[in-house]
Amino acid sequence: MKRTLSALVIALSISAPAAAQEIKLAWNDRPSLRVGDWLRVDIRARVQSDVRRSPLDEVRDDTEAARRRVGIEGRVGKFVDYQVEYEIGAGEWRDVYLDYRQFKPVQVQAGTFKVPFGLEETTGITKLDFVYRSSTSSRLAPGRAPGVMVHGKVLKSRLEYEAGIFSRDGDNARPAKSTRVSGEETAAARLAFEPFHGSKREISKLRVGVAATSAALPVGLPSVRAKTAFGAPFFDSDVYVQGRRQRTGLEAQWRPGPITVQAEYIRLTDERRGQAIEGEDLSPLVARGWYISGTYRRGPFEAASRFETLSFGDTSGNTDASTSRRAEIVLGNYDRAITFGVNWYVNRWVRLQANLIREQLLDPTLGPLPERPIFWSRVLRIQVAL
Amino acid sequence: MKKLLLLALLFAPVLAEAQTTDDLFDIQRMQEIQLVMSSRDLAEMRENYLDAKYYVADFTWNGIRVRNVGIKMRGLSTRSPIKPGLRVDFNRYIAKQKFLGLHSLILDNALRDPSMIRERTSMAFIEHMGQPASRESFARLYLNGEYQGVYALVEAIDKEYLARNLGENDGYLLNHKYLNGFHAEDLGDDLSEYKTRFEVQTHQLEADSIIYSPVRELFREVNHPVDGAWRSRVSEYLDLDKFVTYLAIENFLSEDDGFLGYAGMANFYLYRRADSNTHRLLAWDRDSTFDRIERSIFERVDENILVRRVLRYEDLRKRYLDTLEQCARAASENNWLDTEIRRVSALIKDAVYDDNAKMNSNEEYDQAVVFLTDFAKRRPEFVLNEVAKARRAMTGSSR
């Protein structure tokens, strides 16, 4: 993070000649500082507050949550974009990167940013159709990590690619203050393709993609854990892993007119080399999830719904499945959730979101409410973003 | 030869399926248990031998392999990283998994007992007296192929034990956990005082008030001043006839760490039926029996308020003395106790000699067995004399 910030400072210093040029403060949806043609600094800020109601309130004390982020983004010179974002309260730097964009087919981004994996995970929070990302995205996609990425668009923008090396697995897979193990140096790649690009039909707005990550995984209990929409664990991943952590992802999005349909599938495997009782390899711990969602927008209002499933381990009912840390067949659990939502775009800066979520756990005894396999939750969010 | 082989192959699965807990607890032969676990887990378990953490292992007995069982260190004064006492829970990681119908099995390292047979002999005697007791046998235990020594295989007190011994298992089973010297005092209104001393083994999801109120009431009533209603009040929470029988057998066996133990009450379970508030005691961990041949049959009775008060009732005192007499006669009849000691010690002798993890030498083992046989010969006579004296005293006082 310090290296990225230093690079950013150097990049801004290089633009020193700009100091002699005209300095202009503008308002274009948000405050923006422009120094000639050399520097653009857009101020970003976002405040949001959630009010939650759920049976989980009885076991968790987080019925209200607020987030405040500030940052800047813009361009240095002709070819270098940058972004710096900081979360107040949590005291965490979020995206901090430089992006060299001279050539459209080959661009280079360096710093801390989201590993190119997952359609929903790489969508900014102000653009999400629901209050929360699907559990599949927020648990199985890697999230942010420091790294270098090459990306670009080829074949007349029909194909977009991203490929990078990151110093570690993403933040989603490495909870803070955890002693659990996570992926080390991570390679990631993502391809997104618009097969009907250029067509005049609605089908031209179809976009499909694939993605993969691979990382070395040291021995220990894994950091990736199954959690409900409100973050309550329903499978603790208490099995020893070692080897490689690999993800594969499929994604599709179609946006004809006021409608958006989106679907994603992610499979994460943690190898368990040498973890059997007598030192043999065990079959990998498998987590998989998918969702399909749809939205319809009319004026300032948008209706949305999403169906999703996130499962860890074996959920087939195999009687040999075990909860032991060295089980060949890991007794698993799944969460199936349906979310109904309404979004109201009050103006270009303010958005209200209301979601009603129904969740069903295969084995509620592993979850937050051992005697309730099905539970409903609701959440209201107000979001103000510059 | 081919036909024989074919027959053997045909019958092998049948023979394997035919094995039962009677075979496991068969004291006519030395058993063999193989435990296999990750070498990393084993090293961690030995290093943290005071913890109660479970580890996964594969358990093999007589060709039957049970995978993914949970094992953990057990014992208080017998905890050892060298010769670990272990509890095996077959259903720890696979909810419905059992071994020969058992949910769990104790591998007792017999570390405090140089003869290694006090525990098993005592349980056999309790059973001989018609009282509930754990079945036990002996095994050579191998951990990752390495011989760990002689272990007593002890049937855990659980639902299977209750069904076998009491004919039902729907009630509340509570394991007395030793904390400090407790002599049946009233611990007050707070149920947590009882919860920390009595670990519930069944009905775990029920409210503490349902589980522990009858236990609190038992000790509350015991400590009320003795009046005309004391006995009936206490009887609502403790079967006094069964209690006195339990106590007499324990004292015949010269138990130093039991209900009248050197450091307070120890090594028992409480059980009460689901439709009753009345408890009974179930004997556990008898490796401190055979303490002294000439141990008084009234040793430490005044230290425990419950025992002291119970034995003041003439019929209960008489029952106590009668049971002691029955114990003495049962032990000496056909040299039952002596025969049992000789038979079992002969069975395990070679395995004990091979046991390098035991705390005592082979000579000490031999001497301990000699002491037990001496106990078997002399203890009945001593107890009969003590009983006769006590009866004379009762007759004298009633005149």
Q: Which residues pair with B262 in a beta bridge?
A: B264
Q: pLDDT digit string (tens) for A309-351?
A: 999 999 999 989 999 999 999 999 999 999 999 999 999 899 9
CB within 8 A of B172, min separation 6: which ones?
B200, B202, B203, B211, B214, B270, B271, B272, B274
pLDDT of amino acid B15 = 45
Say whether residue A329 is in contact with chain B using an 8 A CB cutoff. Answer: no
**Interchain contact, A324 vs B58, CB within 8 Å:** no
Contacts of A199 (CB under 8 A, 6+ apart): none
Judge: A326–B96 Cβ closer than 8 Å, yes or no.
no
How do residues A61-92 score in pLDDT, each as one tens digit? 555 567 899 999 999 999 999 999 999 888 88
- Rg of chain B over CA atoms, in angstroms? 22
Q: Decide if A32 contacts A43 (C-beta within 8 A).
A: yes
B391: phi then psi, degrees, rounded to nearest 5 = -65, -40
Residues in chain B: 399
Contact B68 A278 (CB under 8 A): no
The type of residue at B200 is V
Q: Tokens 């009010």 map to which residue?
A: A51
Interface check for B36 against chain A (CB to CB < 8 A): the answer is yes
Give the C-alpha distances (Å, rounded to integers) separating A29 from A43, A44, A322, A350, A385.
Answer: 10, 10, 56, 12, 10
What is the model's pLDDT at position B227?
87
B38 at A interface, C-beta within 8 A = yes
What pLDDT shows up at residue B278? 97
pLDDT at B353: 96
**CA B13 from centroid of its chain's CA atoms:** 34
Which residues of chain B fall below pLDDT 70? Answer: 1-17, 397-399
Q: Which two tokens stand for residue B395?
A: 């007759």
pTM: 0.82
Contacts of A279 in chain B (CB under 8 A): 38-39
Q: Find the helix or strand (DSSP H, E) in which A99 lies.
A: strand A92-103
B57 lies within 8 A of chain A by CB: yes
Helices and strands (H and E) in chain A: how many: 2, 20
Q: How many residues comprise chain A?
A: 386
With CB atoms and an 8 Å threshold, state whether A322 touches B93.
Answer: yes
Nearest alpha-carbon partner for B165 in B203, B126, B121, B133: B133
pLDDT > 90 fraction of chain A, expressed in percent and rounded: 74
Task: Provide long-range contacts, Cβ within 8 A and 24+ apart, for B345-348.
Answer: B345/B115, B345/B117, B345/B369, B345/B372, B347/B27, B347/B28, B347/B29, B347/B30, B347/B138, B348/B30, B348/B116, B348/B117, B348/B138, B348/B150
Q: Do A277 and B92 touch (CB under 8 A)?
A: no
Beta bridge partners of A309: A290, A336
* Structural Rg of chain A based on CA atoms: 22
CB atoms within 10 A of CB A335: 25
Which residue of B93, B97, B143, B205 is the best one to mutate when testing the A interface, meaning the one whose CB has the most A CBs within 10 A?
A: B93
The torsion angles phi and psi of A45, rounded to 5 degrees, stand at -150, 145
SS3 A300: coil
Residue contact A277–B56, C-beta within 8 A: yes
Does A22 contact chain B (CB < 8 Å)?
Answer: no
> Looking at residue B382, what is its pLDDT?
98
Nearest Cβ partner of A277 from B57, B92, B94? B57
Number of Cβ within 10 Å of residue B50's Cβ equals 8
A322:B57 CB<8 A: no
3-state secondary structure of A329: coil
| Model ipTM value | 0.75
Under-70 pLDDT residues of chain A: 1-21, 58-65, 175-177
Dig out the tokens for B218 from the structure: 């038992």
Please name the member of A275, A279, A324 whose beta carbon is closest to the beta carbon of B68: A324
User: Token pair for residue A101?
Assistant: 């964009």
Closest C-alpha to B136, from B35, B280, B332, B284 = B284
A275 closest CA partner among A308, A250, A245, A240: A240
For residue A239, the chain B residue with the least C-alpha distance is B56
How many CA atoms lie within 13 Å of A85's alpha carbon, on the beta-carbon side?
22
- Summarised one tens digit per residue, pLDDT across range B199-231 is 999 999 899 999 999 999 999 999 999 888 999
Does residue A58 sit at the B interface (CB-CB below 8 Å)?
no
* A280 → chain B, closest CA residue: B38
- B149 — alpha (psi -120 to 50), left (phi > 0) or beta? left
Residue A107 is inside which H or E element, if any? strand A106-114
CA-to-CA distance for A117 and A145, rounded, in angstroms? Answer: 12
Rounded CA-CA distance B48/B39 in Å is 14
Beta-carbon contacts below 8 Å between A and B: 41
